[in-house]
Amino acid sequence: LPFGYQYDVKKMKLLLKGEGVVLAKTETKILELLIKQRGSVVSCEMFWEEVWGEWVDSANIRVQVGNLRKKLEKDFIKNVRGLGYSIDF
């Protein structure tokens, strides 16, 4: 993860500059998928399969990613217009 971030997979806990960041279960799954696919674009289809296990409206994905973005530093999660989201560090 980028400088200042630590993520404990077993505890599902994110630290930003030593401070705990409280993540909802869905936000945790989204973050883990983005980390796993680092450098690649994660599409809505991948979110459906890996996070929800079923189809959800893309607006729901946008809201959940937006909630996660508010808890992280600016530009941590990048929108790849028309394709999905990515992180690259």
pLDDT tens for each residue of the chain, 89 residues long: 566 778 777 777 788 877 888 888 999 999 999 989 999 999 999 999 999 999 999 999 999 999 999 988 778 899 999 999 999 76
Residue 89 lies in a domain: no
SS3 88: coil
Q: What is the pLDDT of residue 63?
A: 96
pLDDT of residue 1: 59
DSSP 9-74: TTTTEEEETTEEE---HHHHHHHHHHHHTTTSPBPHHHHIIIIISS---HHHHHHHHHHHHHHS-T
**Residue 66 maps to which CATH number?**
1.10.10.10
pLDDT at 50: 96
| Model pLDDT, residue 2 | 61
In terms of residue numbers, what domain contains 33?
A: 5-84
State the total domains in the chain: 1
Per-residue model confidence (pLDDT) at position 88? 77
Q: What's the confidence (pLDDT) of residue 19? A: 82
